[in-house]
Amino acid sequence: MSISEISPGEALRRVRGGVRLIDVREAHERATGMADGAQGVDRASLEAAPQDHAPDTRAPLLLICQTGRRSLLAAEALHAAGYAEVVSVAGGTTRWQSEGLPMTAPDADVDLDFHERYSRHLRLPEVGVDGQRRLAAATVLVVGAGGLGSPAAFYLAAAGVGTLRIADDDVVDRSNLQRQILHAEDRIGMPKVDSAAATLSAMNPRTRIEPVAERVSAANIDRLLDGVDVVLDGADNFPVRYLLNDACVLHGVPLVYGAVHRFEGQVSVFDAGRARGARPCYRCLFPEPPPPEAAPNCSEVGVLGVLPGVIGLLQATEVLKLLLGIGDALAGRLLQFDALRMQFRQTRLAADPACPVCAPGRAFPGYIDYAAFCAAG
């Protein structure tokens, strides 16, 4: 037997005639308002113990959700459980509102912008309201507002990370626009961090942007890391990468690494500061920097414009996983991407027991002259 569906207008008429209407959406969805006369019972609870919420299996019953799909599935489950007159409201609460039918007021303390903006996150059990609030309380340091930092910062701000501290001392150049999507033609010559702040604040005013128009160095790295939960490495040079690694080990902050070259990129998470001896740091992978002639930057050899987008979004994904405490982070794994072959491959990484920075029991050696160190490599 197929489940009957009725229009919101017909549902309202029946509710006013005494038929019961149950809103099967989650509590955080119902907090923003329900169809007038509806009672809230989430779908999982209703299907698990229907008689606790609707004892009379012979009484007519109406179900509503957001768009009509979940209520239809719930109605099918109740029909299978012996409910004879269960009906779903077609189009759900969305159609109910669009037709101008009466709604109950949102809860007095509900933040409508929060619930509407992050509604797709809130529906994920792995995120939910608590996880979204965890993101809102987090601070991420994004080093570089260029090819990697642009897509990463875009999606971290959209996802609701509370504070993005963006450090970059460069200005927008026309050659950046092929891949650095935070910037625009009319911002050429503007500091990249100010351009980034303008773009991100316009997209999500709930995220606080802290622009730092400085080159990352041993002199300011401790200040930049103050209060930071995760660091995203969007740097384009080895001295900064080694500095970030050493500082993150010292401060016990996870570092999400990314790099691009022509048509290839790589991503990893270095979290040795919180798990010495169990997880590697960047120096475990690259104890010595390559010679300068073996590591040309994008301005010298070029890069496919979309490649930083792919790698930057993978980095942003790892940041969100770390902040939410979900999934398996790339700690101990290097993910490599070949755009021409459209292939990913993984390499397992082990902690180096002799690492000069992250070996268990080894005192922090202090910051070094990273430019000289890399030039000597």
Q: What residues are labeled active site?
A: 298
Q: Is 289 exposed, middle or buried (0-12, 13-18, 19+ CB in 10 A)?
A: buried
Q: How far apart are CA 295 and CA 283, in angstroms?
A: 16
Cα-only R_g, the chain: 26
DSSP-assigned letters across all residues of 16-63: HTT-EEEE-S-HHHHTT--BTTEEE--HHHHHHSHHHH---TTS-EEE
> At 125, which amino acid appears?
P
Please name which of 49, 99, 91 lies closest in space to residue 67, comparing C-alpha atoms: 91
The owner of tokens 């993978």 is 314
- List, in order, residues 6 or more apart from 231 with CB less than 8 Å away: 140, 141, 143, 225, 244, 248, 253, 254, 255, 256
Structure tokens at 62: 């109406």
Annotate 189-236 with DSSP letters as a single string: TSBHHHHHHHHHHHH-TTSEEEEE-S---TTTHHHHTTT-SEEEE--S
Q: Position of tokens 């229907």?
A: 50
Sequence-distant (≥ 6) Cβ neighbours of residue 4 within 8 angstroms: 87, 88
Amino acid of residue 158: A
